[in-house]
Amino acid sequence: AQSVTQPDIHITVSEGASLELRCNYSYGATPYLFWYVQSPGQGLQLLLKYFSGDTLVQGIKGFEAEFKRSQSSFNLRKPSVHWSDAAEYFCAVGAFSSNTGKLIFGQGTTLQVKP
């Protein structure tokens, strides 16, 4: 069965510091992988996605993620965190059929940014 694990429930970084959020997945085939961000009181916004090709994908707001098949990981990175990046981040794996695009989400990582 497909599953996603985000080992870190809560992370605190200083503004300007680098960030890496971890994501491990379990999926029988080539996965479709996503990172979403959720600000308080808001819905989920897509940061980036991986389907195939280059294993380093660029997203919005300066985020990037690297797909590592050997480690079943899709970690999210940002070289310099801004205070506005404080939010909850969700990794997801896509389980697609011909008529739907179902996503399986991890538990989420809450990012706190210190001034």
Partner 1 sequence: ETGVTQTPRHLVMGMTNKKSLKCEQHLGHNAMYWYKQSAKKPLELMFVYSLEERVENNSVPSRFSPECPNSSHLFLHLHTLQPEDSALYLCASSQAGGTTGELFFGEGSRLTVL
Query: Under the rule (CB under 8 A), what is the footprint of partner 1?
Result: 4, 9, 32, 34, 36, 41-46, 49, 51, 90, 94, 96, 98-108
Nearest 10 degrees: Cα torsion 72, 56, 11, 86? -140
Task: State in angstroms the smallest separation of the CB of 72 from partner 1.
Answer: 17
CA-CA distance, 67 to 49, in Å (whole number)? 10
Q: With respect to partner 1, which residue has the nearer C-beta, 13 or 32?
A: 32
8-state DSSP, 1: -
- 8 Å CB contact between 23 and 76: yes
Residue in the structure block whose two tokens are 């970084």: 13
Q: Which is nearer to partner 1, 34 or 85 (CB)?
A: 34
Beta bridge partners, 55, equal none
CB nearer to partner 1: pick between 9 and 70: 9
Helix (H) or strand (E) holding 68: strand 64-68
> CB 94 → partner 1: shortest distance, Å?
4
Considering the complex, what minimum distance in angstroms separates the CB of residue 70 from partner 1? 23
Specify the residue, 36 or 74, whose C-beta has the smaller distance to partner 1. 36
